Amino acid sequence: MSGPLVCENGFRRRACAGEVLVGTIISLNSPQAAEILSDTGFDWLFIDAEHGTHDPLAVESLIQATGDRTPCLVRIPVHEETWIEKMLDVGASGIIAPQVNTVAQAEQVVNYAKYPPQGERGVGIARAHRYGAEFETYLAQANDSLLTVIQVEHKDAVENVRNLAAVEGVDVLFIGPYDLSTSMGIPGQVHNPAVQEAIAKVLEVCQEVGKIPGIFGIAPDVVSRYIDMGFTLVGIGVDTLFLSQAASQALRGVRS
Ligand code: 3PY
Ligand code: MG
């Protein structure tokens, strides 16, 4: 045994220091697939319980397969206390809250993600503190060790970005370009100048106020460009797409 699970990986410290950290989305409920992606060398994994079908037990299995080596952030389906606490309790290195458009929503997420005095996260015996064996250490370190990510992925959130960025306890403003484009009435057109302008505005505010700027993309050249712009917590691709793209390429190669 070597200390509580999430307090030893230095992930939040590295993210806050501005290190570029590259992750990928885990949407398949397969610990083996998650393990393969962890072994590939990603800096972090983005377990998607918003669009993926994962229930809490599935998330725990995914983290068990990978989390001791690769920090896992879990995207919760709703901003509710039970989901936030449970995901941190099973050993997530932080949570990603989708569609945060108001200060009240951001404050609620922080509130359930932090133990007192910063918040009201409930206390229970769970995997994160090695089922109680590292209980006190975990409680002492969790608030400073876990990453709190809110997604800016609606035009209302972009309008409100200065206020969202001012919320204490929020570490990362993570742009969801696809939902953002949808909120602008141009679903999927993530390279449309209006979407790119909104992305640049969020980045500028993050850099001004010292929040970590994050973003997701599918193509490596697009994500590289985001890194060149200044984004540091980046997601590239989705497990399902990696599988289908590689399989299609192999099949085309054999049939051609
Ligand atoms: C989006 O593009 O909407 C996302 O949430 C990607 O993370
Ligand atoms: Mg989204």
- Read off the pLDDT of residues 170-202 as tens digits, 9 standing for 90 and up: 999 999 999 999 999 999 999 999 999 999 999
Q: Which distant-in-sequence residues (6+ apart) come within 8 Å of 23 by Cβ?
A: 42, 43, 44, 45, 46, 73, 233, 234, 235, 236
Q: How far away, in angstroms, is 210 Cα from ligand 2 center?
A: 23
Write down the pLDDT at residue 256: 87
Selection from 216, 237, 220, 219 nearest residue 33 by Cα: 237
| Whether the bond into 177 is cis, omega within 30 of 0 | no
Position 218 confidence tier, pLDDT thresholds 50, 70, 90:
very high
Locate the ligand 1 atom nearest the alpha carbon of residue 174 and give its number. Answer: 7
Write down the pLDDT at residue 172: 98
Is there a catalytic annotation at residue 191? Answer: no
Region 134-152: what's the mean pLDDT? 96
Site to substitute for ligand 1 among 22, 178, 183, most atoms within 8 A of C-beta: 178
What tokens appear for 4 in the block?
């509580």
> What pTM value is reported for the model?
0.96
